[in-house]
Structure 1
């Protein structure tokens, strides 16, 4: 088995010399096989190994016997063993998750803590070739795309590795018998109340007997081919994501141009945008992607709720991904910062995700100022300001005399004309001098405080918008 595993590890670049590998150890045949193979190879690979066991508290006394067994095995091998107990049913109820998803979340949170605290850089899980075949058939029956049919990858995020994915369950059992190991057996694996168990116990044996003796290897070969095709499409979609999507502190924008691309690529870009914003990979399905595509074809202002407390909104054809909590917070919040004109030079403040900095330029001529160098830099006649300088968000009835005009115009109408999204309107800084609006920052300046040939002292205002 080791002779088969070593080439697989090297071909897929799973382990490098000096790696510290944490083995996810349930105590079952697969994980015990993985632990022993890596233990045999640790000198050759020049790695350090340890084990992590999560007691889900789901199987009564058997769960505690598994825990004892794992601890004893690790003690005998002289390796560290990290153990945690979590009531998965209670966790699932509190977080409104399925038991399977709750177990996964808790398990990987546990691994991440150990990695951070103990300096490990790889987590090895014991998925084998039969797991691969079962996973692909399970996804096929639920409905999946190319990525789902690619199945389990040999590695993920350069952190999660599957060194024995190349071994069949028959080979794992042969290794266990050869090494005279005595793994724990989870009796629930033989209960046909679970669909995955039905695939393992009924469907795959039937396919093997009636259609293809080599069905496990055949499905695994297919998964490798599809993974390569999927990697190509992922690279293409990532390039388009960078072109059409932009993430800010509180939201992510998907520009409407993406919806002119081919649908398979659009689907991938949208999925990447959702996971990039929410930092969760497993709670979004194709029905959510289709909702966004449908939303993009409808009128501006429409909203669709999605999992993980986020929603998407069509704003003038662009799609905004936002957080419900942040929406309520911003809509109800008012912000106001007052500054002293006499102490304004080199003053710097923060307003939402904007940094606003002021500079006083004395005895400056208009020809020395680059008026149009940036829409985030503006110059005002300092001598026209009597007292206060104020930065705030918008108020009902706000008006401004736009540069080049004689009459005033409502901010609301300017926002609509400029197609500024509704929530951006609430957090757009409004710069006021003596209670009069001088600049809707980044959008429109006032006629009242413009610099002229008669201007002696200038107030320069520089804006930096923090993007994420």
Structure 2
């Protein structure tokens, strides 16, 4: 930040953002800052949400600060993440739009060292790489600033008490439905009993790892300029032999950077997608092709090609699912299905590795006997006349249309639901019901494991 700038301050009314607004307001005169507060009301907590808005309005009125209030109803998308994550996505998108609309120079958010510690632990629990463990940066995209990222929540509360500032409490922060809340209320307090300074230590670790991350990103961007070329159609081309000669860690980073340039918002793809494309590059035969969220990847003898839009199309993204459209699924690979905004990951594992998955059988995962089917596997929409043998019906045949009716799935939604098929028949009405004929039995030695996850970039390679 420099003097004379117009600054947007995200203010929820909670202790952190109330402290941030107070601090920036105290600097406004000497720094010649123009301040505008932004408050988001999603209406999720009824009267409590309205109370937050009224509190922020009065807080800004008392200090003579302009206020923008954004009302928005969050709608859970099929396969999408939690409402907390949806709110976060909307908030950042709206702040970026408002910055342009109001001609602001910077956006300030009130993330603290405790938020950083929670973020690092959450990425750790996801099996994250270096990028995730580096946490949130002090600045993002050149205009989003987190000035309190090295300040603990204890210091924030002391500041509020010293200056006799009131604030609001968000009751949803106490809910154990959200993983971040449980890390905040259960994991961090336990760690603090062992290491009292765990929050500043995690914040410092993130800062050190960000420096390593920044250096590796510089290295990979230089390699991208040397190893990746772009043709007149905008397709990225990587020589397969040169990729194979790189260390695996650099291979992944280089492919992740290529995928960022295909992804609509420039966000990181999941580890599964990056790894699937890396293996695709090193092992696929000439002419192989597979679909991605916002593009597709193909191989010839010499190059890996990464293109925007579906195979054979110049469009930037598949936006509508055609019930007669089919996508080939390589093993292993990850395919993006736009109808439900999901990534579908397919791999073959030994029985002993897949056995624990058979015991839990969550709805987003299915396991089949890999030797009871042949390739190619296909992912497609439902077609009139489709039949299969659902598990639990004693081998009886059932129309997919009747399954949809029994499950009360509306007709307009049916064509969006993917079916995983083999030449022998339908393996899985994805997320709904598996076929009895392909289930794992005592003699199974190899398992086809299919996992479904949200197609949004919230679980990026970090």
Asked whether the two chains share a fold, i.e. TM above 0.5, the reply is yes
Q: Secondary structure at the match of 1:193?
A: coil
Match of 2:15 among 29, 32, 39: 29
Name stretches of at least 5 consecutive residues in structure 1 with no aligned partner: 1-14, 331-468
Number of the residue aligned with 2:278: 293
- For 1:283 and 1:230, the matched residues in 2 are separated by 14
Range with greater deviation from structure 2 (276-285 or 21-30): 276-285
With over 3 angstroms needed to count, the CA separation of the structure-2 counterparts of 1:122 and 1:259, relative to structure 1, is farther
- For 2:229 and 2:93, the matched residues in 1 are separated by 28
Q: CA deviation at 1:149?
A: 0.8
Range with greater deviation from structure 2 (140-149 or 193-202): 193-202
Q: CA deviation at 1:201?
A: 0.9
1:312 matched to 2:284? The reply is no
Match of 1:178 among 147, 155, 162: 162
With over 3 angstroms needed to count, the CA separation of the structure-2 counterparts of 1:269 and 1:182, relative to structure 1, is same
Check whether the contact 2:110–2:146 (CA below 8 A) recurs between aligned residues: yes
1:40 matched to 2:23? The reply is no
Range with greater deviation from structure 2 (167-176 or 262-271): 262-271
The aligned runs of 1:325-404 (5 Å cut-off) are: 325=310, 327-328=312-313
Q: Secondary structure at the match of 2:7?
A: strand
Q: Secondary structure at the match of 1:21?
A: strand
Number of the residue aligned with 1:212: 195
Check whether the contact 1:251–1:321 (CA below 8 A) recurs between aligned residues: yes
Q: CA deviation at 1:326?
A: 7.3
Number of the residue aligned with 1:105: 89
- For 1:230 and 1:303, the matched residues in 2 are separated by 31
Q: Secondary structure at the match of 2:312?
A: helix
Q: Secondary structure at the match of 1:327?
A: coil
Match of 2:115 among 109, 131, 134: 131
CA offset digits 1:112-149 (Å, max 9, x no partner): 22111111021111100011111111110111111111
Match of 2:307 among 309, 322, 329: 322
Check whether the contact 1:251–1:277 (CA below 8 A) recurs between aligned residues: no
* Larger RCO (CA within 8 A; separation ≥ 6): 2
With over 3 angstroms needed to count, the CA separation of the structure-2 counterparts of 1:99 and 1:245, relative to structure 1, is farther
Q: Secondary structure at the match of 2:119?
A: helix
Number of the residue aligned with 1:79: 65
CA offset digits 1:252-311 (Å, max 9, x no partner): 33332233211212211111111122243445111111101111121122222223x322
1:224 matched to 2:216? The reply is no
Number of the residue aligned with 1:263: 248
The aligned runs of 1:144-293 (5 Å cut-off) are: 144-209=128-193, 211-247=194-230, 249-256=233-240, 257-282=242-267, 284-293=269-278
TM-score of the pair, normalised by structure 2: 0.64
With over 3 angstroms needed to count, the CA separation of the structure-2 counterparts of 1:282 and 1:61, relative to structure 1, is farther
With over 3 angstroms needed to count, the CA separation of the structure-2 counterparts of 1:95 and 1:198, relative to structure 1, is closer
Number of the residue aligned with 1:303: 289
Q: How many residues end up aligned between the 2 structures?
A: 312
With over 3 angstroms needed to count, the CA separation of the structure-2 counterparts of 1:97 and 1:221, relative to structure 1, is closer
With over 3 angstroms needed to count, the CA separation of the structure-2 counterparts of 1:326 and 1:23, relative to structure 1, is farther
Task: Answer with 1 or 2: which has the greater Rg.
Answer: 1
Q: Secondary structure at the match of 1:164?
A: coil
With over 3 angstroms needed to count, the CA separation of the structure-2 counterparts of 1:125 and 1:16, relative to structure 1, is same
1:140 matched to 2:127? The reply is no
Number of the residue aligned with 1:65: 51
- For 1:276 and 1:59, the matched residues in 2 are separated by 38
Q: CA deviation at 1:178?
A: 1.5
Check whether the contact 2:40–2:71 (CA below 8 A) recurs between aligned residues: yes
Q: CA deviation at 1:187?
A: 0.8
Number of the residue aligned with 1:456: none
Q: CA deviation at 1:317?
A: 3.6
Check whether the contact 2:295–2:311 (CA below 8 A) recurs between aligned residues: no
- For 2:203 and 2:266, the matched residues in 1 are separated by 23
CA offset digits 1:61-116 (Å, max 9, x no partner): 2112212221221122111111111111x2x4289554344323321221122111
With over 3 angstroms needed to count, the CA separation of the structure-2 counterparts of 1:180 and 1:239, relative to structure 1, is same
- For 2:305 and 2:57, the matched residues in 1 are separated by 49
TM-score of the pair, normalised by structure 1: 0.63
- For 1:226 and 1:97, the matched residues in 2 are separated by 27
Q: CA deviation at 1:46?
A: 3.0
With over 3 angstroms needed to count, the CA separation of the structure-2 counterparts of 1:177 and 1:293, relative to structure 1, is same
